[in-house]
Structure 1
């Protein structure tokens, strides 16, 4: 009997471009947590409240209000990565890609490349690099986020890897021939 991991591997081989949220336990990102231990509990509560209010403001289109709230959170705990990641999303929505990238770099640096915030920041930075045509940088960020458990990042890394794409194409051809040995090759 195949394990969950075995099924996930087989699905990745045969359908690398399809999401597989239906495979239990595959997306480990949901299990990631940030290490908030070094921060004062009162300041941490205040910052989390500011961030929550900032996210709500952004969701209703008050981007300047969101930026102000994230800025306040950063001033209270400038060594905590989460507010930088959230501010980067808001800056991106405003079209400030350079500002978003700077905040994402800061979020990855402060998080030490670990935890939920690092994973989210790496995915977001990878997407910005991809939009800018910087596929090598995007691939690196997606690989790091995938190592942290992001299924979306793993899929993006597969899409950006030319060797994997070629291997998958050849594998689909072989499978097609096995399924239909007398017929024409399936079109890809």
Structure 2
């Protein structure tokens, strides 16, 4: 089983724009793990987690086909577990299959009932896709839900989506620029 630091590194690799260590629900890890053990047979759960780790390792090395195969095997063994869909969505997105990624993210959010680490990661990932597709309101909704689940990255995205915050940031940058260069000559 991976350590918290291992998961933080993997999160950073899969989502480079996520702040290091922003793993939603990490403090509730034992509770989430207990819920999974109660919901799924332990030996099958261990096998699925191992397949997911193999998939992550394959994705890290750039072998998205093997990663997708491992995530698919994990989903086949436990089709009601949200994590496999979230992981496969990341690999699909890296491969350029945004529609497939969105389908898997929707499934992960539904299976997780909008709770826990898999839901939070899926909401953040879906919110980022919505932003790339210039669907700001849908992105805002996903980031709000992820923020309520503990994602600091989602909270930062909400600030960026706020037009008043953007305007304040712009004015602050202009003011700092004038303070650094009061004569307006462009050189310091």
* TM-score, length of structure 2 as denominator length: 0.73
> Whole-Å Cα distance in 2 between the matches of residues 32 and 116 of structure 1?
9
Alignment of 1:75-86 (within 5 A): 75-86=76-87
After TM superposition, the runs of 4+ consecutive aligned structure 1 residues lying more than 6 A away are 167-170
Query: How many pairs were matched up?
Result: 155
Using the TM superposition, give the Cα deviation of residue 31 of structure 1 relative to its aligned residue in structure 2, in angstroms.
Answer: 1.7
Assess, with a 3 A threshold, how the Cα gap between structure 1 residues 168 and 85 changes in structure 2: closer, same or farther: same
Does structure 1 retain, via aligned residues, the 8 Å contact 2:23–2:117?
no
Q: Who is 1:99 aligned against?
A: 100
Relative contact order, higher structure (CA 8 A, sep 6+): 1
Is this contact kept in 1: 2:25–2:117, CA < 8 A?
A: yes
**Aligned partners of 2:24 and 2:117 also within 8 Å:** no
Instruction: Name whichever structure is richer in helix by fraction.
Output: 2
Name the counterpart of 1:157.
Answer: 158
* Helix, strand or coil at the partner of 2:90: helix
Do the aligned partners of residues 166 and 32 (structure 1) sit closer, same or farther apart at CA in structure 2, a change above 3 Å counting? farther
| Structure 1 segments unaligned to the other structure (5+ residues) | 1-18, 184-188
**Structure 2 residues not aligned, in runs of 5+:** 1-17, 183-188
Change in Cα spacing, 1:120 to 1:27, as seen in structure 2 (3 Å) is closer
Deviations 1:54-106 (A, max 9, x none): 11111111111111110010010000000000000000011000000000011
Equivalent in the alignment of 1:61: 62
* CA distance 1:99–1:32, change in 2 (3 Å): farther
Is contact 2:82–2:109 with CA below 8 Å preserved after alignment? yes
Task: Find the aligned partners of 2:19 and 2:50 in 1 and give their Cα distance.
Answer: 34
- Cα distance between partner residues in 1 of 2:19 and 2:92: 31
User: Equivalent residues in 2 for 1:27-176 (5 A)?
Assistant: 29-33=25-29, 34=32, 35-36=35-36, 37-166=38-167
Cα distance, 1:30 vs structure 2: 2.7
User: What's the CA shift for 1:168?
Assistant: 6.6
Distance 2:25 2:143 in 1: 13
Relative to structure 1, the CA distance from residue 29 to residue 169 in structure 2 (aligned partners, 3 Å threshold; closer, same or farther) is farther
Shift of 1:164: 4.1
RMSD: 2.7
